[in-house]
Structure 1
């Protein structure tokens, strides 16, 4: 039922202690949930709704059916067992007795005591002559004199809660202030716009979320609030995009047939049609005086680095500099070696700058970058430090954007001598990103897709086997090594005591995980005895990792046993076999990226997954990776299975302000919000019209600093 009207108003900025029943002690529990004022309380949304049954007398409860009753607790006890225990209580009313039992919740002994009046809801069952409810939902009631009347049936909101602040307490506080608080709420969407989009008012949406009369109201409320999340995000990125184009200039890097031919001569192979199409998009961007902001995505092995190199060489052709930023030292080193190899016959001057290089080397390289002696700088976030300046930076390539945020892109712009000048920026992703997620996370970027593989690249065959078949797998690896091929074996942990392993909280306990060390011992003394084995993991120094990869590439190592540090690395054309143990511990994107390390030579790659998944999601991931080698299809599947975190990184995912939005479920609302935001910013670039005052304020509060917006309204 709806929240009951009250004559009391609650200013949204009023402290949480102004809510009925919230004293100082309970306010501390609310504050631990981030709820400090009435606005925070109203914005603390339920994550589901449950049907709260109409109350009846204990004698009217029907065995086998869900019901609700209230009464007095007359007895309690804790029954302890070796494996868990139970808390029991007796509830009576004027018609009879109801036995209550909660399993594995002994702490209730400090919450439920004889003499208390409580309301319970659950399924009643006959236990001999007695009626019983197991694990019922319960809440304490005031003394009889202050006790409200029996409740009618309603949809009860279930809130994110804590042990000392249960959902029903939050519900009571919300219902106490809802009507009075919503009377103070201003809507940031004009009434005519809401009518056109068939959206309820903001106050109505919050009322229907906290006190719905039926399921359709919950759906209508969710639709409005999801649309709000997406519209705010899209307005923010569209405004940022417009501001950058209006306020920032970039050097125009025009191409012509002579420059184009000269650059292509430096590339290791002819571009595929897909690569050529993206190069043309980039060349068109870089010829303009407004800064390019483009996302380049493609499947594993699609040749994104060569496309990025074209842009860097276009800057060099105009006497300017380029920079390639990588999120890890290993990836920066790979780019440096790959590009150095491609340009070994040219006069292009390269520099590698990472945090682990000694201070004197970093200082010397920084000086060469600042003087213009270096044409292309490659490195990690060390390139963003204040002491690194560029002589004439024109193009910036950012690899794996999800590890770099807006602030890092702003730091790159700060490297320019003129505050109104920015480099052209191209972003590369390690694996494909679903369109809905690309529009959400990278909404301010144009998107280019390399949708083909270079000539000669064969799809990798993938098999999933259970642990009992492991010996057969090692026999297969031995046979292929005997035929002159090389193999990777990938594991989730370095050793049995490895605290740094990036594992999902599912499957076998860590103690039972096979690791790099245990597998090395097993194989070197068993089926691969006599073969040249080596290990690779993140605890090795950069020099050790580099030396190991050089030996592997030279054919001096038959089998490399490693953690996921080989997810990026030097191409090994002769490596055609990969075994991934505990494969259910990895995400789809990571499995696909790992699989992409093999099959880069003449021989067809074979990837074998060893796993006994304990969850349906784990099995679904393995079935998906076996079923297809299409990275774009896998990205969509990963989004459905695990949400955005696995695809864009948990840190960036956590920063997404999307509490209610579920992709791809809400993709229609996303596309609508994107169209609306583009049209809105086109008509009112600064959101300064009188009817946009509330919208402007809320947008700046939410995204002003996050997106680096400039308030010119």
Structure 2
């Protein structure tokens, strides 16, 4: 691209660094400057182009200062009105000048008018545009005119046009009736007047269909390449010995569901392979992922390897440690706990056990992937709530097992269900197991939406529940801007509830407490010694208190759907019917109202996740993973499901039969953006 440094800097803000980026910088909408209407015939309420001579020009003061011009042609008169204008425009739009206007005609105070139209002075008989006018995404300091000129020059450059060579085999193009790639790009930049503006702007036009297919295909190809590369690595072969598993299952006090049995079989089979497992275990809140992870860990331990479980919060990690200790210690399995909050001497003792191999199972937070932690022989890394960890963190834990040239197997768990299209697209490099059934004996949770002004009714309901020997959570709002503000809210709520209920034991748990203090409070709550627990969102995942049957979530309108669903999952864990009260303040924004409607109407995590994806888009939904996976620019997972399935089918065929074209296709669309897919 032959542009000056200043323009290049502005183009880089748009993600344009080379010729290919330039020609794939596609319009967001179009204007039709190929047709000219007579003023008297132009329809109202539509964007139209008219032309006439200025017969009147004045600046009026009332009702506010504005520039008014009257435009006339042989069929009638139209008012052109500018509320914001420069003094130079008064001279430009002088009486007698011929002007061409593009905009929407409406009835106004001065009659039929266009307000702030796109306009320019023209000569009589000046020719019209030959194609629809593209409007591009741009940035400050880079006008549409300049950007369109640069792209236009790029489309005429011979070297640039070489970049438009076909990378999809004819066989696939014919099978899916795809438009040619170069034709599609040219059409989108300069569509003829006969093309449907609606089809172009809704991205349903055949040219858009081709672009979206190519983008999805590139994503699928890159995912499959990394999936295959992982299978070329070596991992420990962890045989299904089942001795420890057969000892554990009768001690549990509950039967595994058929869904748990099915997903454990999938995981167990993967662990016997000589290449590293990379599996995502999904299950709704309370579906029993922990026992499945425990059985996988036992399979590694029986084969003489260590297993590690990493959780995003100290509360969740400690819950895992307590639960797994109760299960594993009777089997003679040595389990250690590691967290950032431990004293230096104690931490060193535990790290020595890990390095020597005495520790067979290690449970902890992000402290597990710190450089000073050395494993003796890590065979399986389990990451809970994997979306809460960044790409580098997940990779760091995985690399802990490479001292012996064996890559550990990796199991990632998520209680935030991933919608099918998202799983097919952004998680296509993983094998996915789903626990799609809840354990028997779980009671349904009734969700109630209650406005803040009815707080007294909620206080009465809490009092009644505690008199019935039930326990209650009161969750304070998530305030992203300030943890201190969130803590202040929790403290104030705690003091208020203690005064309101002097006869009750009221507890408080929040992120600023030490791990030991949190653990002590949670244990008191679990044992029933605290009846009402005021908490920040640190209790979002992992906390299991079957006797807690009522939850109040304050300022629920501030929270996301995934978080509301996770919090609600802390109740309904026993046989009693449970209630989750979403306390909200008015007025509600449109998106907050929609979120509350979804969480009120649905209890199925997958349906909530699907609707959440529609509300937020994949970027926000994916969380930390997005920094390692190229985001889609053109395709829409909801609208383009059939194209995604087609791309998925084509990816393996191209890698098997057309490897050179596959590599060219990946390079065109992704360049070097796939470097972190290995995690």
Normalised TM-score (structure 1): 0.82
Task: Say if 2:286 and 2:438, in contact at 8 Å, map to a contact too.
Answer: yes
Superposed displacement of residue 663, structure 1: 1.9
Counterpart CA distance in 2 for 1:440 and 1:419 is 33
1:242 and 2:242 are equivalent in the alignment: no
| Corresponding residue number in structure 1 for 2:581 | 608
Superposed displacement of residue 234, structure 1: 1.4
| Corresponding residue number in structure 2 for 1:198 | 177
| Corresponding residue number in structure 2 for 1:42 | 23
Instruction: Name which of structure 1's ranges 227-236 and 531-540 shifts more when overlaid on structure 2.
Output: 531-540
User: Do the aligned partners of residues 706 and 476 (structure 1) sit closer, same or farther apart at CA in structure 2, a change above 3 Å counting?
Assistant: same
Task: Say if 2:13 and 2:139, in contact at 8 Å, map to a contact too.
Answer: no
Mapping for residues 77-116 of structure 1, pairs under 5 Å = 88=67, 90=69, 98-102=79-83, 109=86, 114-115=91-92
1:345 and 2:326 are equivalent in the alignment: no
| Corresponding residue number in structure 2 for 1:662 | 636
Mapping for residues 208-247 of structure 1, pairs under 5 Å = 208-213=187-192, 214-215=195-196, 216=199, 218=203, 219-246=205-232
Counterpart CA distance in 2 for 1:530 and 1:109 is 71
| Corresponding residue number in structure 2 for 1:461 | 446
Mapping for residues 15-26 of structure 1, pairs under 5 Å = 15-17=2-4, 26=7
Counterpart CA distance in 1 for 2:624 and 2:36 is 44
User: Do the aligned partners of residues 692 and 493 (structure 1) sit closer, same or farther apart at CA in structure 2, a change above 3 Å counting?
Assistant: closer
Superposed displacement of residue 42, structure 1: 2.0
Superposed displacement of residue 297, structure 1: 1.0
Counterpart CA distance in 2 for 1:538 and 1:15 is 54
Counterpart CA distance in 2 for 1:653 and 1:599 is 35
1:425 and 2:447 are equivalent in the alignment: no
1:125 and 2:72 are equivalent in the alignment: no
Aligned partner of residue 425 in structure 1, secondary structure: strand
| Cα deviation digits, residues 169-191 of structure 1 (max 9, x gap) | 53454345434476332332234
Counterpart CA distance in 1 for 2:253 and 2:166 is 58
Counterpart CA distance in 2 for 1:172 and 1:111 is 25
| Corresponding residue number in structure 1 for 2:520 | 547
Q: 1:563 aligns with which of 519, 527, 536?
A: 536
Superposed displacement of residue 646, structure 1: 5.2
Q: 1:621 aligns with which of 590, 595, 598?
A: 595
Counterpart CA distance in 2 for 1:312 and 1:362 is 22
Superposed displacement of residue 693, structure 1: 5.7
| Corresponding residue number in structure 2 for 1:506 | none
| Corresponding residue number in structure 1 for 2:139 | 162
Task: Say if 2:508 and 2:533, in contact at 8 Å, map to a contact too.
Answer: yes
| Corresponding residue number in structure 1 for 2:463 | 478
| Corresponding residue number in structure 1 for 2:606 | 632
Counterpart CA distance in 2 for 1:91 and 1:35 is 42
User: Do the aligned partners of residues 151 and 578 (structure 1) sit closer, same or farther apart at CA in structure 2, a change above 3 Å counting?
Assistant: farther
Aligned partner of residue 122 in structure 1, secondary structure: strand
Superposed displacement of residue 241, structure 1: 1.6
Task: Say if 1:15 and 1:38, in contact at 8 Å, map to a contact too.
Answer: no
| Corresponding residue number in structure 2 for 1:33 | 14
Mapping for residues 226-625 of structure 1, pairs under 5 Å = 226-246=212-232, 248-256=233-241, 258-265=243-250, 267=252, 269-404=254-389, 407-417=392-402, 420-493=405-478, 499-500=481-482, 515-520=489-494, 522-526=496-500, 528=501, 530-611=503-584, 612=586, 614-625=588-599
Counterpart CA distance in 1 for 2:621 and 2:130 is 42
Counterpart CA distance in 2 for 1:439 and 1:593 is 23
User: Do the aligned partners of residues 211 and 522 (structure 1) sit closer, same or farther apart at CA in structure 2, a change above 3 Å counting?
Assistant: farther
What 5-or-longer segments of structure 1 have no aligned partner?
1-13, 18-23, 503-509
Superposed displacement of residue 599, structure 1: 1.7
Aligned partner of residue 283 in structure 1, secondary structure: helix
- Size of the aligned set, in residue pairs, is 662
| Corresponding residue number in structure 2 for 1:183 | 161
Aligned partner of residue 373 in structure 1, secondary structure: coil
Counterpart CA distance in 2 for 1:549 and 1:632 is 29
What 5-or-longer segments of structure 2 have no aligned partner?
none
Counterpart CA distance in 2 for 1:61 and 1:221 is 30
Superposed displacement of residue 198, structure 1: 1.8
| Corresponding residue number in structure 2 for 1:207 | 186
Instruction: Name which of structure 1's ranges 644-653 and 561-570 shifts more when overlaid on structure 2.
Output: 644-653
| Cα deviation digits, residues 46-90 of structure 1 (max 9, x gap) | 334455573457677566664334689997879799xxx876464
Counterpart CA distance in 1 for 2:24 and 2:53 is 34
Task: Say if 1:237 and 1:444, in contact at 8 Å, map to a contact too.
Answer: yes
Counterpart CA distance in 2 for 1:659 and 1:127 is 39
Counterpart CA distance in 2 for 1:70 and 1:406 is 57
Counterpart CA distance in 1 for 2:514 and 2:447 is 32
Task: Say if 2:281 and 2:434, in contact at 8 Å, map to a contact too.
Answer: yes
Superposed displacement of residue 578, structure 1: 0.8
Task: Say if 2:389 and 2:624, in contact at 8 Å, map to a contact too.
Answer: no
Superposed displacement of residue 581, structure 1: 2.4
Counterpart CA distance in 1 for 2:249 and 2:467 is 40
Task: Say if 2:313 and 2:538, in contact at 8 Å, map to a contact too.
Answer: no
| Cα deviation digits, residues 88-129 of structure 1 (max 9, x gap) | 464757886733234xxx5x6499664279854222234455
Instruction: Name which of structure 1's ranges 465-474 and 293-302 shifts more when overlaid on structure 2.
Output: 465-474
| Cα deviation digits, residues 389-419 of structure 1 (max 9, x gap) | 2111111111122234554454344323456
Counterpart CA distance in 1 for 2:87 and 2:347 is 61
Superposed displacement of residue 460, structure 1: 0.9
Superposed displacement of residue 577, structure 1: 0.3
User: Do the aligned partners of residues 167 and 682 (structure 1) sit closer, same or farther apart at CA in structure 2, a change above 3 Å counting?
Assistant: same
Q: 1:68 aligns with which of 46, 49, 62?
A: 49
Instruction: Name which of structure 1's ranges 171-180 and 447-456 shifts more when overlaid on structure 2.
Output: 171-180
Task: Say if 2:386 and 2:412, in contact at 8 Å, map to a contact too.
Answer: yes
Task: Say if 2:381 and 2:411, in contact at 8 Å, map to a contact too.
Answer: yes
User: Do the aligned partners of residues 361 and 120 (structure 1) sit closer, same or farther apart at CA in structure 2, a change above 3 Å counting?
Assistant: farther
| Corresponding residue number in structure 1 for 2:151 | 174
Counterpart CA distance in 2 for 1:570 and 1:393 is 27
Task: Say if 2:230 and 2:678, in contact at 8 Å, map to a contact too.
Answer: no
| Corresponding residue number in structure 2 for 1:642 | 616
Task: Say if 2:477 and 2:558, in contact at 8 Å, map to a contact too.
Answer: yes
Instruction: Name which of structure 1's ranges 272-281 and 125-134 shifts more when overlaid on structure 2.
Output: 125-134
Aligned partner of residue 378 in structure 1, secondary structure: strand
Counterpart CA distance in 2 for 1:69 and 1:360 is 82
Task: Say if 2:654 and 2:662, in contact at 8 Å, map to a contact too.
Answer: no
| Cα deviation digits, residues 309-365 of structure 1 (max 9, x gap) | 001111111221001122333332232222223334342222222333344443332
Counterpart CA distance in 2 for 1:559 and 1:60 is 72
Counterpart CA distance in 2 for 1:90 and 1:539 is 65
- Aligned-residue Cα RMSD (Å) equals 3.7
